[in-house]
Structure 1
């Protein structure tokens, strides 16, 4: 009886060990996100001495947000359910961004700075093209 169990368990264990790297590699591959694409972002300041408003384009690819412009950087993530967490940075100034993108191609949320200059506000997003 023990030999039969060993004959059944050892091949199954070997198959599991052989499949583990493939499964790990598959999990590390980022799949396209339904929110991937180009978004137009409007940022509005509601409190503090920051610029009143600005608009810029953000690209979401495989759930990762980025900005191609040079005056500041945008880095963050959009979850498969549309939750947004990002940071907008210019030099040592940073703003933390949270919110949500919707299936209808719009989104919104809030932002606030960290550091000596205190500002906060809201943002709106529209999918482009």
Structure 2
């Protein structure tokens, strides 16, 4: 499995939330907590065509549900807007999109060693 695709595993839900949020905002943000299945599809570049990954969101923070280690920096706004980056070594992916209810969609693009881009779809599983 190539890094350029694995890097997006947490994709649609990468979040970093402050513990200092007001209770109503925190309640709105934690509605996205749970297990997510994220499908990543390459539309341009020499990355693998498609993969599906597990993402776990707890207390508004996202982490990859698989064995690899990634540096994740991003957040989901209370309205579901996703803006994040993931890096590992020289590779970096920028992710944007939106979560709504039990689904999410967006786009991604890499920079660094291999340049690729595409879209992602997410489904909440629990």
1:69 aligns to what?
Answer: 66
Q: Which has the larger radius of gyration?
A: 1
Q: Does 1:28 align with 2:25?
A: no
CA distance in 2, matches of 1:60, 1:99: 16
Conserved? CA contact 1:63–1:80, under 8 Å: no
Q: Work out whether residues 65 and 78 of structure 1, in 8 Å CA contact, stay in contact via their aligned partners in 2.
A: no
Which residue is equivalent to 2:107? Answer: 110
The partner residue of 2:88 within 90, 96, 108 is: 90
SS of corresponding position for 1:41: strand
Partner of 1:52: 49
Residue ranges of structure 1 left out of the alignment (5+ in a row): 1-26
**Matches of 1:40 and 1:106, distance apart in 2:** 9
Aligned length: 102
Aligned to 1:120: 117
Structure with the higher helix share, 1 or 2: 1
Task: Check conservation: 1:63, 1:78, Cα contact below 8 A.
Answer: yes
1:74 Cα deviation after fit: 6.2
Greater shift, 87-96 or 114-123, is seen at 87-96
Aligned-partner SS, 1:81: coil
Listed as ranges, the gaps of 5+ residues in structure 2 are 1-18
CA distance in 1, matches of 2:111, 2:45: 12
The farther-off stretch of 85-94 and 52-61 is: 85-94
Encode CA deviations 1:44-101: one digit per residue, 9 max, x unaligned. 0000001111111111122221113233426232111101122233332111110000
RMSD: 2.0
